[in-house]
Structure 1
């Protein structure tokens, strides 16, 4: 997709592609949530996106969320942590985020629970599952998911379990990418049959700018999109 200079046009093109993927999968158009990923983009870009109706934004780093929370305080935005969260950053996440989509270990869950109790807050969480063979990818092994969810539901009441998240392998092999998304959906379907008390599995967050159409075809309920909305990222040297 060629990126138009206008964010509204980029989003319109993106939603057309999302709806087409839904149609191919036999799903209703408009049934997949679009989460803008604003990491590395400044307040002006986020203000432009809020003017187009967005109130939730995905970020990778707690320090960037803290900065933007201050810069954009009057907008009352919801920040979604989608990057790997270090346990020593649980305090920052508990203070600033509405949701963590990258929950992948009990140590982090317990740290968040303690900090949320101190803050008097509760947040939504998605459990990140590792479906890619890449060592650089984080996530819980699929075979550990059921026990992990049971422990979360029992020990961490401030964490409201909403579903699962994954990142596909970075590859030009579309079948390898599709296999990652399919593995998450199949795990989700299996876990639903277990009917674990206190666990909602309504959401599957998977798919980014380069692979969201495949993710939707395989069952994503939410896609995390950055560059296809905001344009090419400018990383610091």
Structure 2
């Protein structure tokens, strides 16, 4: 077994152990930014189907690579970076197998996506990104405003399927045991479920990366975004 496949299986085994303890289903998004297409193909053949990218240019290039198109027919791409309005058309028209945009953080972005999708008669899965640490340099809607965004999408954006909520942990907490960002997102899910009478199982939580995915699963994450633990350190 290759090193990449070995890394993947180690992560998947740990996810399985933790999710069984929590009696939850957890999905792994392998974050492949800066990594070559060959690595993605290797992991695809090892069984991984969900991959994530942070930049539209890189996602477009990789998703249209001839080897990806011919060898990875049911690959599923998640966009996990900040989406600029001027790149909406590109990501919707030039990325085969786009499964989800995890970073919707404004009414304007939701409307532009929805209008573009309407013209193509397409629907798309999304998550609402919440800035749980209130850091100026990070994207995401403020906690106090996320319900208004959800309601707007629910009432006005017929082409968007909002599956849940997403956060990127505090930049200061990368190497600490601080779970405050996770707890904020969990509280947001509770508010959403209380308002709309949803079960918590109806709302996905995308939180946890290479440094903290285990703790994220322990407190309720249903999607983890792991890069360097699988692909190795980025240069």
Per the alignment, residue 213 of structure 2 pairs with: 212
Per the alignment, residue 69 of structure 2 pairs with: 73
Aligned pair in 2 of structure 1 residues 55, 5: CA closer, same or farther (>3 Å)? closer
Per the alignment, residue 27 of structure 1 pairs with: 22
C-alpha RMSD of matched pairs (Å): 2.0
Aligned residue pair count: 224
Deviation at 1:19, TM superposition (A): 3.8
1:58-112 per-residue CA deviation (whole Å, 9 max, x = no partner) reads 1111111111122122223221110010111111122222210000011111111
Question: 3-state DSSP class of the match of 1:174?
Answer: coil
Distance in 2 separating the partners of 1:22 and 1:34: 12
Q: Of residues 53, 56, 81 in structure 2, which corresponds to 1:59?
A: 53
| Aligned 8 A contact 1:7 1:229 in 2 | yes
Per the alignment, residue 82 of structure 2 pairs with: 84
| Aligned 8 A contact 2:189 2:203 in 1 | no
TM-score normalised per structure 2: 0.88
1:1-237 matches, within 5 Å, as 6-22=3-19, 26-28=21-23, 31-71=25-65, 72-74=68-70, 75-76=72-73, 77-95=75-93, 96=95, 97-170=98-171, 171=173, 172-175=175-178, 178-195=179-196, 201-234=202-235
Deviation at 1:196, TM superposition (A): 7.2
Deviation at 1:207, TM superposition (A): 0.4
TM-score normalised per structure 1: 0.88
Aligned pair in 2 of structure 1 residues 19, 55: CA closer, same or farther (>3 Å)? closer
| Aligned 8 A contact 2:53 2:79 in 1 | yes
Question: 3-state DSSP class of the match of 2:47?
Answer: coil
Question: 3-state DSSP class of the match of 1:98?
Answer: strand
Deviating beyond 3 angstroms after TM superposition, the runs of 4 or more aligned structure 1 residues are: 19-23
